[in-house]
Structure 1
Amino acid sequence: MILATRHTGLVVRDLDKAVVFYCDILGLSIFKRMKESGSYIERVVGIPGVALEWIKLKANDGSLVELIQYHSSSVISQEIENSPSDRLGCSHIAFTVNDIDRLYSALIGNGYHCNSVPQPSPDGTVKVMYAHDPDGIIVELVQELVP
């Protein structure tokens, strides 16, 4: 039986570029960073000779996002740059934010792709937008609107 969601893992090409996006712009904080290789991690991920590095990022509510960079492979198995949200598999990761308009300006000002300006939902309860991280992973930002 599942007790809780532990973290969401995202494979990235460059940890440092991803940290700029997720920490400097979106406001997550670095919780832990580690390099791994050897038999333990080979068995866990199922890739012989794997060498990787990961960073766990923490949101204010304690939820974790794990960014993983594989150093042992120069080929990422799937290109997703600015991919559409209707592809099979994990579609996106979503965060609740407190100032979506400021984040939109910061993202655009730093050269990141956003599908649109923040959009108010038809029922007026939230503003929503999709942005793309440095690797094209879709990040949904949602601001709850207080009446």
Structure 2
Amino acid sequence: MIKNTRHTGIVVRDLDRAFRFYEALGFKLWKREVESGDFISTVVGIENVKVETAKLKAPDNSMLELLQYHSHPKEKEIVNAPSNQLGCSHIAFSVIDIDKTCDFILQQGGSLVNPPALSANGLVKVAYCHDPEGVLLELVEEIM
């Protein structure tokens, strides 16, 4: 059945802004393209769709796909996703310095749910935060 995780997709309003945010966190652009036509319309289930994507690779080669729907944008207020929402809850990233990463997220227009907290077993510090689009992220720093 499943061989591996291919990527995680995030629909964004402003692909350039989202790209700059995730690039500054350490992702590198792998591929950026605009797709339209029968194939992509069939895959996403939207007729006459035009979507621009940026596929980004983390240092461990895991991928994040940012998508901006040019033909069918969804206009809604940006709301920080709650941790108990149904469906996809959050994306977790291992980080080198959680305090610096949290500061960066705040500087870029994101928000913190909690300041970094030491786990009960003392092995990790964890913070939940939101990117500028309201996507819930979990940051984890392993304590040596």
Structure 2: give runs of 5+ residues left out of the alignment: none
How far did residue 80 of structure 1 move? 5.8
Indicate conservation of the 8 Å contact 1:80/1:137, yes or no: no
Q: Residue in 2 aligned with 1:91?
A: 89
What is the alpha-carbon distance in structure 1 between the residues aligned to residue 73 and residue 41 of structure 2? 17
SS in 2 for 1:135: coil
- Indicate the percent of aligned positions where both proteins have the same amino acid: 52
Segments of 4+ in structure 1 off by > 6 A?
A: none
Q: Residue in 1 aligned with 2:99?
A: 101
Tell me how many residue pairs correspond in the alignment.
144
How far did residue 110 of structure 1 move? 3.0
SS in 2 for 1:88: coil
RMSD: 1.4
1:43 correspondence with 2:33: no
Q: Residue in 1 aligned with 2:66?
A: 67
Indicate conservation of the 8 Å contact 1:92/1:137, yes or no: yes
Q: Are the structure 2 counterparts of residues 79 and 93 from structure 1 closer, same or farther at C-alpha, using a change threshold of 3 Å?
A: farther
State the TM-score, normalizing by the size of structure 1: 0.92
Structure 1: give runs of 5+ residues left out of the alignment: none
Indicate conservation of the 8 Å contact 1:93/1:139, yes or no: yes
Alignment of 1:1-147 (within 5 A): 1-24=1-24, 26-76=25-75, 81-146=79-144
How far did residue 131 of structure 1 move? 1.4
